[in-house]
Amino acid sequence: MSTTTTPATTPRPAAGDRTSATTGRIGDSPLRPDGTLKVTGEFAYSSDLWHEDMCWGVTLRSPHPHARIVAIDTTAALARPGVFAVLTAADVPGVNRTGLEHADQPALAEDVVRYQGEPVALVAADHPETARRAAAEIVVEYAVLPALTDPRRALDPDTPLLHPSHPTGNLVREVPVRRGGPVPDAPVVVSVEFEVGMQDQAFLGPESGLAVPDGEGGVDLYVATQWLHTDQQQVQRVLGIGPDAARLHLAGVGGAFGGREDLSMHVHACLLALRTGKPVKMSYSREESFFGHVHRHPAHLRYEFGADDDGTLRYGKAELTFDGGAYASSTGAVVGNGGTLGLGPYRFPVVELVARGVYTNNPPCGAMRGFGCVQAAFAHEYLMDALAERVGADPVELRARNGMREGDPNITGQTIDSAAPVAELIRRVRDMPLPGERGTDLLGLPGGVGNTTHGEGVRRGIGYSVTYKNIGFSEGFDDYSTARVRLSVTAGEPVASVHTAAAEVGQGLVSVQAQIARTELGVSRVVIEPADTAIGSAGSTSASRQTYVTGGAVRAACELVRARVLERAAGTLGVPAASLRLDGDKVVAAGGEVLAGLADVLGDSPVEETTEWRHRPTVEPDPETGQGDAHVQYAFSAHRAVVDVDVELGLVKVIALDTAQDVGKAINPDAVLGQIQGGSVQGMGLALMEEVLVTDGQVRNPSFTDYLIPTVLDTPPMRIEVLENPDPHAPYGVRGVGEPPTISSGPAVAAAIRAAAGKDLRRVPIRPEHIVS
Amino acid sequence: MGMTLDAPDFHVPTSWEQALAVKAAHPEAVPVAGGTDLMVEVNFDRRRPPALLDLTRVPELAAVDRVDGRVRLGAGVPYARMITELGSELPGLAMAARTVGSPQIRNRGTAGGNLGSASPAGDCHPPLLAAGAEVELASVRGVRRVPVAEFFTGPKRSVLEPDELIAAVHVAPATGPQQFAKIGPRNAMVIAVTAFALALHPEQRRVGTGIGSAAPTPRRATDAEEFLSGELAAAGLWSSRGPLPESLVTEFGNRVRAAASPIDDVRGSADYRRHVLAVLARRTLTWAWDAHRSTEQRTGRTA
């Protein structure tokens, strides 16, 4: 059994099921403890949670993107047999506000709804169908208001304010970056206006969880999430209960990608559980899921680069506008990234940039893999190609020549103080073998099984991209993780148990934690305890940070435990502790000679240490100039895409998507490849097809029938070259892995399509009709 | 729970006779075979049928027979069997079946279900139109056959009476090359943005067509069919099997495009649909005609 699932029959995991495999140290690729279960369909996801006597909660949502709530009548719903409770904002006992950065979002709408799908009322009933029918019987009288749906109008003086108490009106945040004085003239100037559509995380496990009241005013919530502690704080605030009165437990997570940073059903299930005194399960349908989490910000990007005749960059100007939708979520931090990282991994002597995020009545947007860098990359990579063409340079060499190097300042003046192999990465992907000529098998042609071409109209194109991303939380955030490590004896064998609150969302952190414990403590048996709020925060499973930060915390806790164990052994053996090591479940001398069994040293006295671990501090960038050491680490990646485009039908087949990425140190090489493959496909999906279509504030495609993600037939072979330039500031030299490929793959695909079609395409996703129009 | 939830009645006939009797007694019962359309509607809470009529245990529906020189395809035959069993007799239909969903969907979804849903985007419809198929409808009142071109009456509407069930489809085996092409924004598992089917009937000196997802119903491009059939006959091309003049191919494409009346929707624009229909018509005609010509080279036959 897995270490992080919550079994379907009871919320409490069984102790005997938690021992992971006994091999796999740092640099190995042990089998994932949850891998077999997930492949065979036996893994218990949050939607599988079950509790005796539980009832079902459902959410009534606003059909309007902007409306005043005039009245809510719950009489009929309450009268339906089987219904236990119907709740509205009036039933919220605590502070009816949630939000990751600004608490601006009601758990249940009060007088106004600001987006289609905003939760308005809740029902608990003995059956989900009863609850759904009762929800349909709630009568909400709306007075529809004009909806602000064009983010470029959000800051116009005559535009009504969506959050009148917000100090900067409809502006959620603005980040200017100015460097190097006034923008000079340049012999070569290229510019673009680029538009990026709204991508969805499209995780496969819809939002779900189970709230179990404790009978004393508190609640246990089992939920699929990315950060238990930030959920806990928000839940307690809305419920109006004290610290630790809500205890959160990680349930099986079916993907996250940023879409589980904000609350979904968390507070709702707890509200219903405390009101009814019964365990309450909530589980969204696929359609509801599209309304139940934030999306990637759509963006309007205006960019201009000036350069010398040889293509050496003189300046970069940019204006980035992110549509934050109805509530702030993490728009502020996304804007921070879009600003501080918005020109890509290049050296610019002069920079004049501003990034903004605004409120609208569109669906709320927030965190998604790549976080502000994904959008910007499409524009800066477009311009690097445009510049190469203008000056007659090779697009790879132009990037290599302008690429950052270790020791360079970036556009916020922060010195890149570890490897910055921009030139090497982009040249590596260029130098990989190209795929062969196109064959005749339909499955290898644009249109695939649709039998739309036998070669007619098909043109090949190649595109390149190199990008970078901050790793970890930035801008002065106190970004730490907490780990408890215990070394004890079970059945005569030494066992290390590791407890953190870090969310395993599919990325493989449970394997990494065990690999670190095995390496640091020289033990074979490692138990990863279920993640919950019984221990301090691990921070978010976001920003490609968990191997770095929680990995760092686990290592630090292991070091403390090891020091105590070796002290104990040293006392018994009469040798200095400094001459001892732990290896192979033994205490060994420096030369490897076995001196004692670890189990004997531990005996009946386990050793346990808990520690918090922090990465280097960062600072908030200067509010006028954007200058400052805003980020803790940078990760670089490059892609080369080869595509075949049917230029008469606008259909695309990606033939190859090759990449090189510096990961610092591959703790688990197989997991690194998995992250790079998945991230590359997700970025490709944005370039090709993934878009939440919103018209007048209404989502038009909330289903996997019409929100398309790449299938295996859309997914090309990938050559992946993994560089390991250790970051001396990071544990083991690691560099975050998960996000960079999502940033660099999309622009390479878009460039390849432009090259194949001979079309100046300035929007993603690139739909077939854009190619043929 | 049944008292508060009004769970739908679920009828499970085990013979065709029983199925028709149930449908006569419960015309509100919605037939379900693979459930690949219906259950999506139910799961999205867009439809709450008062009763369901499960046809999966009616053995007669799973049969493929030959009747009067035609293939009689039982309404319960899934797409997967159209591919494996009918590829040589009904190549257009088999090609269309290959483009349906995933292997799981192709194992479940059926010809009868596709017709019954009567979606303009149904993948079976264009090749059945091009082949001149007939739909066999049955009720306790009797059996009737309707040309597939007359079966569809509007988006998701057909001539099916409330007491009727779809028994089978009758399709003449191919006498010439057939083609099917379907546009989707990804390379598999898509609902057709636009689809086109073409069948050459050399023995009738006739060309058949079928357009999908570009009008309120699936429809033939009748004018294009007649134009092309006439031009081929006039130029003696049916028997000479000479190359097609480029202008003829272009004009055929234009007439197919003119036969469509598409809309803008979430899957594509009307302009795009018209544009690609012309391209698909030209390409499928070229492929089919090339196959027609190479048949002669291989066999020396003349039609």
Rounded to whole angstroms, what are the CA distances from B102 to A242, B185, B187, B268?
50, 16, 12, 22
A760, with CB counted inside 10 A (0-12, 13-18, 19+), is: exposed
Q: Among A27-36, A548-557, B129-138, B277-286, which is the least confidently predicted range?
A: A27-36
pLDDT score for A21: 66
pLDDT score for A17: 40
User: Do A625 and A179 touch, CB atoms closer than 8 A?
Assistant: yes
B301, with CB counted inside 10 A (0-12, 13-18, 19+), is: exposed
Asked if residue A771 has pLDDT above 70, the reply is yes
| 3-class DSSP state of B67 | strand
Asked if residue B56 has pLDDT above 60, the reply is yes
pLDDT score for B8: 80
CATH class of B2-54: alpha beta
Spatial distance between the Cα atoms of B286 and B296, rounded to a whole number of angstroms: 16
The CATH number assigned to the domain with range A480-614 reads 3.30.365.10
Residue of A257, A771, A137, A189 lying closest to A507 (CA atoms): A257
Query: Is A480-614 in the same CATH topology as A295-474+620-772?
Result: yes
pLDDT score for A1: 25
How does pLDDT run across A477-489, given as a tens digit for each residue? 999 999 999 999 9
Spatial distance between the Cα atoms of B47 and A69, rounded to a whole number of angstroms: 28
**Residue carrying the six token digits 């680490």:** A633
CATH class of B178-297: alpha beta
How does pLDDT run across A692-709, given as a tens digit for each residue? 999 999 999 999 999 999
Domain range A48-145+206-253+260-292, CATH architecture: Alpha-Beta Complex (3.90)
pLDDT band at A648; cut points 50, 70, 90: very high
Residues A705-720, mean pLDDT to the nearest whole number: 96
pLDDT band at A10; cut points 50, 70, 90: very low
Would you tell me how many other CB atoms lie within 10 Å of the CB of residue B26?
Answer: 17
Spatial distance between the Cα atoms of A326 and A102, rounded to a whole number of angstroms: 12
Residues A34-53, mean pLDDT to the nearest whole number: 95
CATH class of B61-171: alpha beta
pLDDT score for A192: 98
Element (H, E) at A80: none
Nearest CB among B179, B266, B280 relative to A693 is that of: B266
Asked if residue A348 has pLDDT above 70, the reply is yes
How does pLDDT run across A391-413, given as a tens digit for each residue? 999 999 999 999 999 999 999 99
Asked if residue B3 has pLDDT above 50, the reply is no
Give which of A449, A644, A686 to mutate to test B binding, by max B Cβ within 10 Å.
A449
Topology of the domain covering A295-474+620-772: Aldehyde Oxidoreductase; domain 4 (3.30.365)
Residues B256-276, mean pLDDT to the nearest whole number: 97
**Residue carrying the six token digits 């043929």:** A772
| Residues 647 through 706 of chain A touching chain B, CB cutoff 8 Å | 648-651, 653, 688-689, 693, 700-701, 703, 705-706
pLDDT score for A439: 85
Residue B190 near chain A (CB below 8 Å): yes
How does pLDDT run across A579-616, given as a tens digit for each residue? 999 999 999 999 999 999 999 999 999 999 999 999 99
pLDDT score for B4: 45
Domain boundaries along the sequence of chain A: 48-145+206-253+260-292, 295-474+620-772, 480-614
Partners of residue B74 on adjacent β-strands: B168
Spatial distance between the Cα atoms of A270 and A237, rounded to a whole number of angstroms: 12
Copy the structure tokens of residue A633. 């680490």
User: In chain B, which segments carry CATH 3.30.43.10?
Assistant: 2-54
DSSP string spanning A252-285? Answer: PP---TTTTSS-SSHHHHHHHHHHHSS-EEEE--
Q: Is A202 left (phi over 0), alpha (psi -120 to 50) or beta?
A: left
Partners of residue A359 on adjacent β-strands: A325
Q: What is the 3-state secondary structure (H, E, C) of A389-413?
A: HHHCCCHHHHHHHHECCCCCECCCC
Copy the structure tokens of residue A44. 């218990």
How does pLDDT run across B111-165, given as a tens digit for each residue? 999 999 999 999 999 999 999 999 999 999 999 999 999 999 999 999 999 999 9
User: In chain B, which segments carry CATH 3.30.465.10?
Assistant: 61-171
Residue A123 near chain B (CB below 8 Å): no
| A451 to B40: CB separation less than 8 angstroms, yes or no | no
How does pLDDT run across A514-562, given as a tens digit for each residue? 999 999 999 999 999 999 999 999 999 999 999 999 999 999 999 999 9
Residues A324-334, mean pLDDT to the nearest whole number: 98
Spatial distance between the Cα atoms of A36 and B222, rounded to a whole number of angstroms: 55
Among residues of chain A, what percentage have pLDDT more than 70? Answer: 97
Q: Which residues of B167-186 are buried (b: 16+ CB within 10 A; e: fewer)?
A: bbbbbbebebbbbbbbbbbb
Asked if residue B297 has pLDDT above 80, the reply is no
Cα of A103 vs its chain's centroid, Å: 21
| Residues 579 through 608 of chain A touching chain B, CB cutoff 8 Å | none
Residue A715 near chain B (CB below 8 Å): no
| A453 to B186: CB separation less than 8 angstroms, yes or no | no
Rounded to whole angstroms, what are the CA distances from B268 to A515, B194, B273, B281?
49, 9, 7, 18
pLDDT band at B6; cut points 50, 70, 90: low
Give which of B99, B186, B250, B263 to mutate to test A binding, by max A Cβ within 10 Å.
B186
Q: What angle do CA A768, A648, A460 make, to 5 degrees?
A: 85
Copy the structure tokens of residue A250. 């990680």
How does pLDDT run across B204-251, given as a tens digit for each residue? 999 999 999 999 999 999 999 999 999 999 999 999 999 999 999 999
ipTM surpasses cut 0.90:
yes
Q: Among A579-588, A629-638, A647-656, B5-14, which is the least confidently predicted range?
A: B5-14
Spatial distance between the Cα atoms of A327 and A98, rounded to a whole number of angstroms: 10
Q: Among A9-13, B144-148, B194-198, which is the least confidently predicted range?
A: A9-13
What is the distance in angstroms between the Cα of A708 and the nearest Cα belonging to chain B? 8
pLDDT score for B45: 84
pLDDT band at B296; cut points 50, 70, 90: low
- Of the two residues A18 and B120, the one the predictor is more confident about is B120
Asked if residue A198 has pLDDT above 50, the reply is yes
What mean pLDDT value characterizes chain A?
Answer: 96
Residue A136 near chain B (CB below 8 Å): no
**Residue carrying the six token digits 């194109």:** A461
